[in-house]
Amino acid sequence: MANDSGSGKNSLPGSASLLSELVQINSVNPDQAGPKSGPGGEAEVAHWVADRSRQLGGDVTVEEVEPGRPNVYAYFEGDSDKTVLVDVHLDTVGVEHMTDDPFDGRFENGRIYGRGSVDTKATFAVVLDALRSLSDENRTLRPNLILAGTVGEEAGGFAGAYRLEEWLGGDRATPDQIIVAEPTLCAPVYGHKGGLGLNITVHGEAAHSSKPELGRNAIVAAARVIAALDDEHLRLTGERPATEVGNGTLAVTTIDGGLAGNIIPDRCDIQVNRRIAPGEDTETMVPKLEDIIRQAARPEPVDIELTYGKVFQAFYREASTSLVQELADLASEDGAVAAYGTNAVAYDHLPSDIVVFGPGSIDQAHKAQEWVDVSELTKAGNIYRRWLT
């Protein structure tokens, strides 16, 4: 591919050059790995962030969350009692559907290309470059800064974020402000939905398809379950939303059943995704869904499992909070809400000011070709420099 940077990568802004290096490190979430990516995992990129942070004077902790999958926490001392945290997830989505080299990190058309370029290695590059430039200028951070890299955001139930939350809950003070890195076009996002998943197995009894009355058709029972869940979705979306984030939703996302064209199916598996809006009662949500499913499937028995064993409550802060207003002023962007979920669900109970924020657009994330405009990196870098000083 042609490189339009003039003399090459060395002439790029510091954040763009760092991002190019980061994209070249494969950190595909292992749950989404395939032949093109190999086994994936976050270890290599975690140690890259750790090494760069140490070079910049950070006090670094590397903590294994799962075998071979570490979080990394880098502490940079400021000259005030205030502490801020920037959480950047280390993993990326899979690359099997990508149409070009997912890890080339090339600079072309004013953009850095490759998996993770926008979601969300860009923030690592921007923050590390801001720290480097402030150090070169002998400028001191105003707040203490924790730059955290967390595993398992794209799949796995936000395991890294919840481990970080436990790490913060030791003898460390809760950060005053938290930025969760995602591509928001540098607009501070103050709310998004939570969610839960259900794995449902409807049981029947196999029989010859010429005599269906001798069996119990699990797919037919599952069809009744799907119809009942769709009715629940329509009820949810017909309600008046409590916040600008909108209503909860419910969707059947996968179905798998049947043995052969001439056998009455003895089981059918369904996956369900329930998005949770701010203000919804999560205590009664799972029992209510279980009741809807079992009633619809009767008389066939049903097994229901909560994916990851957790309900992820919605994230929401008021648009008037100080961090939303501060970043909105620095970015000249209004606060917003988002449709997607983030690591912020793990921190919503903390008393900190929290926003989701970062360069680039979510519209470029997870696609067959991923990129971020270098101008977005520059904009985010200027915002971070001002925020940290």
- Helices (H) and strands (E) counted in the chain, each on its own, are 8, 16
What is the structure's pLDDT at 11? 66
**3 falls within a domain:** no
Instruction: Return the residue matching tokens 């915002």.
Output: 383
**Residue 85 near residue 76, CB atoms below 8 Å:** no
What is the structure's pLDDT at 45? 98
Neighbours of 301 (CB within 10 A): 14
What is the structure's pLDDT at 283? 94
At 78, which CATH number?
A: 3.40.630.10
Percent with pLDDT over 70 in the chain: 97
Is residue 58 located within the same domain as residue 81? yes
pLDDT of 15 higher than 50? yes
pLDDT of 338 higher than 60? yes
What is the structure's pLDDT at 8? 47
Element (H, E) at 202: strand 194-203
Which residue, of 291, 309, 327, is where some domain finishes? 309
**Segments of 90-132 assigned E as strands:** 107-108, 111-113
Angle 165-180-306 (CA atoms, 0-180°, nearest 5)? 60
> pLDDT tens-digit profile of 112-169?
999 999 999 999 999 999 999 999 999 999 999 999 999 999 999 999 999 999 999 8
Is residue 270 located within the same domain as residue 160? no
Angle 49-27-31 (CA atoms, 0-180°, nearest 5)? 135
Is residue 185 located within the same domain as residue 91? yes
Residue 363 contacts by C-beta under 8 Å, 6 or more apart in sequence? none
Token reading at 101:
């080299």
Is residue 177 located within the same domain as residue 205? no
Query: What's the rounded mean pLDDT across residues 205-217?
Result: 97
Is residue 172 located within the same domain as residue 26? yes
Is residue 133 located within the same domain as residue 227? no
What is the structure's pLDDT at 169? 82
How many structural domains are present in the chain?
2
**253 falls within a domain:** yes
Is residue 77 located within the same domain as residue 139? yes
Instruction: Return the residue matching tokens 């005599």.
Output: 211
> pLDDT tens-digit profile of 318-331?
999 999 999 999 99
Instruction: Tell me the torsion sign for CA atoms 65, 195, 26, 23.
Output: negative
Is residue 187 located within the same domain as residue 198? no
**1 falls within a domain:** no
Angle between helices 14-23 and 374-388 (to 10 degrees): 110
What is the structure's pLDDT at 33? 97
Token reading at 307:
């994916």
Percent with pLDDT over 90 in the chain: 94
Distance CA 242, CA 280 (A): 9
Mean pLDDT of the chain: 95
Token reading at 301:
């028995």
Query: What's the rounded mean pLDDT across residues 370-376?
Result: 98
Query: What's the rounded mean pLDDT across residues 284-290?
Result: 97
What is the structure's pLDDT at 311? 96
> pLDDT tens-digit profile of 238-271?
999 999 999 999 999 999 999 999 999 999 999 9
Is residue 143 located within the same domain as residue 240? no
**Residue 47 near residue 75, CB atoms below 8 Å:** no
Q: Give the distance between the most distant pair of CA atoms in the chain.
A: 83
Is residue 213 located within the same domain as residue 174? no
Rg (alpha carbons) of the chain, rounded to whole number: 23
At 261, which CATH number?
A: 3.30.70.360
Q: What is the DSSP code (8-state) at residue 179?
A: E
Distance CA 299, CA 316 (A): 41
Element (H, E) at 353: strand 353-357
Distance CA 132, CA 13 (A): 12
Is residue 184 located within the same domain as residue 290? no
**4 falls within a domain:** no
**357 falls within a domain:** yes
**2 falls within a domain:** no
**202 falls within a domain:** yes
What is the structure's pLDDT at 131? 98
Band the pLDDT of 5: cuts 50, 70, 90. very low
Which residue, of 309, 324, 344, is where some domain finishes? 309
Query: What's the rounded mean pLDDT across residues 73-83?
Result: 96
Is residue 230 located within the same domain as residue 162? no
What is the structure's pLDDT at 327? 98
Query: What's the rounded mean pLDDT across residues 169-194?
Result: 93
Which residue, of 261, 286, 309, is where some domain finishes? 309
Query: What's the rounded mean pLDDT across residues 210-232?
Result: 98
Band the pLDDT of 173: cuts 50, 70, 90. confident
What is the structure's pLDDT at 171? 67
Distance CA 387, CA 28 (A): 31
pLDDT of 362 higher than 70? yes
**Residue 268 near residue 202, CB atoms below 8 Å:** yes
Structural domain range at position 164: 9-192+314-388
Instruction: Tell me the torsion sign for CA atoms 28, 29, 31, 32.
Output: negative
Token reading at 375:
């101008």
